[in-house]
A and B are shown apart, each in its own frame.
Chain A
């Protein structure tokens, strides 16, 4: 039996450098993640957390792998919903690949694959991230392509 998992792929007209910056820069993360900020230096072994505007911790964990412009792996636990937190740790892998052919941006564009897998058993965590990631990633795509976000609360 495979682990509970959510996978989402999106294609963005940007560069691996810009996408990596957007995934690891707290000020940019704020813009597309509904005001949530990240606290981490995004180096392997470093702590990582997401915080709401009011300072509450939304999620916490540790950077497992960070290979700039290619791959970021975070050990991740929800902290603000007791029933989701109860399901424990998950692993989120963000993979950046260059997509083959975007002629009008000089061949620069990327495929971003988010794969978020629970370490243990349960359905609440995957349900929660299945709702959240499409919003966050739709916003990220809009921000990088148009300078604005699609989803405004």
Chain B
């Protein structure tokens, strides 16, 4: 059985610089990534953390930072239901200028055997990347992620 790999390509009417900036900016990620704000000094080997409403939701380590072409980090979800229970996987963002737009390819692999995170990210990336595209093209995010409302309702 081959190891799972998730690949998603999306075209954005923007520049590689703007897309790269959005992926590495705390305020931008907070907007298009449904409240998850990314912080790091973005140097290879440095930690990266995402927080939502003060809670750590995702952590990893910067593997590659080559603006505006390539960004890569390890990826360990800390929010429920994963809670850091799986070892980190790896996500790579490849940006390529194609005329007046950017081809953004997200490749996510190196999952643990029987990974539950793989299932989560397979649903999550289309949502996050649809939102990123809308954010850059029309300065609006696509939607608020419905599961937070559900979670909060369940918790109360």
Q: Which residues of A are at the interface with B, using a C-beta cutoff of 8 A?
A: 8-13, 99-104, 109, 134-135, 138-139, 141-142, 145-146, 148-153
Contact = CB atoms under 8 A, between A and B. Distances in A.
Nearest to A153: B99
**Secondary structure dominating the interface of A:** mixed
Interface in B91-149: 98-101, 123, 126-127, 130-131, 133-134, 137-138, 140, 142-144, 146, 149
A146 B137 CA distance: 8
A100 B101 contact: no
A151 B101 contact: yes
A150 B142 contact: no
A34 to B, nearest CB: 12
Nearest to B150: A100
Given A11-B127, A138-B12, A150-B13, A145 B144 contact: no
Given A141-B130, A146-B137, A146-B138, A99 B143 contact: yes
B108 to A, nearest CB: 14
Contact of A109 (B13, B98, B142): B142
Interface of B: 8-13, 98-101, 123, 126-127, 130-131, 133-134, 137-138, 140, 142-144, 146, 149
With most chain A CB atoms within 10 A of its CB, the pick from B10, B13, B143 is B143
Contact of B130 (A11, A148, A149, A150): A11
Given A150-B11, A150-B13, A141 B146 contact: no
B13 A141 contact: no
A11 B131 contact: yes
Given A9-B126, A134-B9, A101 B134 contact: no
Given A13-B142, A150-B13, 10 more contacts: A9-B126, A10-B130, A11-B127, A11-B142, A101-B146, A104-B140, A134-B10, A135-B11, A146-B13, A150-B133
Contacts of B126: 8-11
Contacts of A141: 130, 133-134
Contacts of A146: 13, 137-138
